Amino acid sequence: MKAIQYRSYGDYSENRLVELPRPQLLEGEVLVQMRTVGINPLDNTFRSGHIYLATPQNLPRIGGQTGAGAVVETKSEAFKVGDRVFVRASGFGLVADGTWREFVPVPAATLSRIPDAVDDDYAAAYLAGAGYLTGYLALTELASFKPGQAVLAPAIGSAVGMETVQVARRLGASLVISTAGNTQKAKRARADGYEHVIDLSTESLKDGVLRITDGRGVDVVVDGVSGRVTGQALASLAFGGTVVIAGYAGGRDAEVNVTDIIWKAATVRGFTFRLFAPETVAAANAALLAYLEEGRLQPTISKVFPMSEAAEAVRYLIEDRPFGRVLMHAQH
Ligand SMILES: NC(=O)c1ccc[n+]([C@@H]2O[C@H](COP(=O)([O-])OP(=O)(O)OC[C@H]3O[C@@H](n4cnc5c(N)ncnc54)[C@H](OP(=O)(O)O)[C@@H]3O)[C@@H](O)[C@H]2O)c1
């Protein structure tokens, strides 16, 4: 079978197309023929060696944390051949071989069925950036979000930004604000129904939030950008507000005015999946799947590449700042 594997930590070109044996199944596992797989910025962080998990013991590694496929062989009663399934399992693409291959052996307990109305590409987009799960857990578990509150999730084109906005709307936020790094992206977002998008090429984040909220600020920020956004996000908070920091697409270093923390009695929380019990994550996934089936979530696809172009696909996600998820077709 074809797979995308890297044998050392390095630049995009380490994502190499290789030929490997088709995997054998263990008891309780299901063999899934992957159709569409997702790319997540963490795949890039990991392959470039910029994370504590990136050790020589974790090489070689097949990348990819998520995807959509169909069952072709099963050693579990829970799934039959032909079932369409969401694929994601703990450590996939990081400390265990992942989804960027034609066939993936998966513990049945980690699989769930894809609703008939959701095609393979949208199913893969739903999982790709983990933005829905991040947004939901950040709001409900870390920020004690309540309906009626105002939420800011910067970077409307991104997984964390766009998907948190959708989740916050579904959870009953009074107002949901995001940002775009350029005017073209801001226009595209507004055309897609995202009403409050601050164009950061013409207005600062703080000024935009204060304008939209009539000077009050937002109750919750869920941020995957950091860097220069962090100080502005704290400055955009209402009294008693919470900033949940999930990622650092815009930089690891931030400068903050500490009076924004002190005078607003602000809470700053770091988001990592390690915080949550498996039951909490399972309940979040069930709630999100129900929202998806209701049509209240809109997974958005920027571009689908053939898996043979994995190096370019990852570069595109990281450098071109697309509007929506970046996917690969696993079959040729
Ligand atoms: N802690 C966790 O468990 C967790 C969960 C999910 C994601 N994350 C992390 O959160 C971060 C965001 O993930 P994502 O999937 O939402 O990212 P993404 O889809 O790749 O989008 C990142 C966005 O950040 C904005 N940005 C601002 N400055 C940037 C810069 N210098 N370079 C690149 N982008 C910049 C861009 O929007 P504009 O062009 O509009 O500025 C870009 O679209 C990543 O670091 C990811 O690893 C962490």
Residue 248, domain CATH: 3.40.50.720
Q: Is 323 in the pocket of ligand 1 (CB under 6 A)?
A: no
- Is residue 295 assigned to a domain? no
- Residue 178 belongs to domain spanning: 131-274
- Is residue 289 assigned to a domain? no
- Is residue 284 assigned to a domain? no
Rounded to the nearest 5 degrees, what angle is found at the Cα of 237, between the Cα atoms of 232 and 238?
155
- Give how far Cα 102 sits from Cα of 170, 318, 330, Å: 35, 24, 6
Rounded CA separation 66/176 (Å): 27
DSSP SS3 for 169: helix
Is the same domain home to 77 and 160? no
Name the CA dihedral angle for 111, 112, 115, 120, rounded to a multiple of 10 degrees: -20
- Give how far Cα 239 sits from Cα of 34, 198, 205, 211, 234, Å: 47, 21, 17, 16, 11
Is the same domain home to 83 and 62? yes
pLDDT score of 90: 87
Residue bearing the CA closest to ligand 1, atom 3: 272
Is the same domain home to 43 and 62? yes
Tokens of 212: 């939209």
Is the same domain home to 95 and 157? no
Is the same domain home to 115 and 148? no
Residue bearing the CA closest to ligand 1, atom 29: 250
Asked if 28 and 107 count as a contact pair (C-beta separation under 8 A), the reply is yes
pLDDT score of 331: 84
> pLDDT 10s digit of each residue in the chain, 332 long?
999 999 999 999 999 999 999 999 999 999 999 999 999 999 999 999 998 889 999 999 999 999 999 999 999 999 999 999 999 988 999 999 999 999 999 999 999 999 999 999 999 999 999 999 999 999 999 999 999 999 999 999 999 999 999 999 999 999 999 999 999 999 999 999 999 999 999 999 999 999 999 999 999 999 999 999 999 999 999 999 999 999 999 999 999 999 999 999 999 999 999 999 999 999 999 999 999 999 999 999 999 999 999 999 999 999 999 999 999 999 87
Rounded CA separation 307/15 (Å): 10
pTM: 0.97
- Is residue 288 assigned to a domain? no
Rounded CA separation 195/197 (Å): 6
Asked if 130 and 90 count as a contact pair (C-beta separation under 8 A), the reply is no
- Is residue 236 assigned to a domain? yes
CB neighbour list of residue 234: distance below 8 Å, 6 or more residues apart: 243, 256, 257, 260, 261, 264, 266, 268
Tokens of 230: 């962090």
Is the same domain home to 207 and 181? yes
Is the same domain home to 123 and 137? no
pLDDT score of 51: 87
Mutating to test ligand 1, I would choose from 160, 162, 253 the residue with most ligand atoms within 8 A of its C-beta, which is 160
Radius of gyration of the chain (CA): 20
Is the same domain home to 62 and 183? no
- Is residue 293 assigned to a domain? no
CA 325 to ligand 1 center in whole angstroms: 11
- Is residue 306 assigned to a domain? yes
CA 5 to ligand 1 center in whole angstroms: 23
Is the same domain home to 170 and 214? yes
CB neighbour list of residue 100: distance below 8 Å, 6 or more residues apart: 3, 4, 5, 34, 37, 62, 63, 64, 67, 93, 307, 310, 328, 330
Q: Is 155 in the pocket of ligand 1 (CB under 6 A)?
A: yes
AA letter at 151: V
For 115, phi then psi, to 5°, come to: -55, 145
Is the same domain home to 46 and 73? yes
Give me the CATH number covering residue 47.
3.90.180.10
- Is residue 254 assigned to a domain? yes
Buried b (16+ CB within 10 A) or exposed e, 138-172: bbbbbbebeeebbbbbbbbbbbbbbbbbbbbbbbe
Which single residue is written with the structure tokens 């930590």? 9
Is the same domain home to 20 and 119? yes
Tokens of 305: 């590449």
CA 145 to ligand 1 center in whole angstroms: 22
What single string gives the DSSP state of each residue in 99-115? Answer: SSBSEEEEEGGG-EEPP
Q: Is 130 in the pocket of ligand 1 (CB under 6 A)?
A: yes
Is the same domain home to 142 and 225? yes
Side-chain-facing half-sphere of 287: CA atoms under 13 Å: 17
Side-chain-facing half-sphere of 206: CA atoms under 13 Å: 13
DSSP SS3 for 295: coil
Q: Are strands 196-199 and 218-223 parallel, antiparallel or unpaired?
A: unpaired
Rounded CA separation 112/67 (Å): 11
The total of structural domains in the chain comes to 2
Last residue of a domain, one of 232, 256, 274: 274
* Nearest atom, ligand 1, residue 162 CA: 16
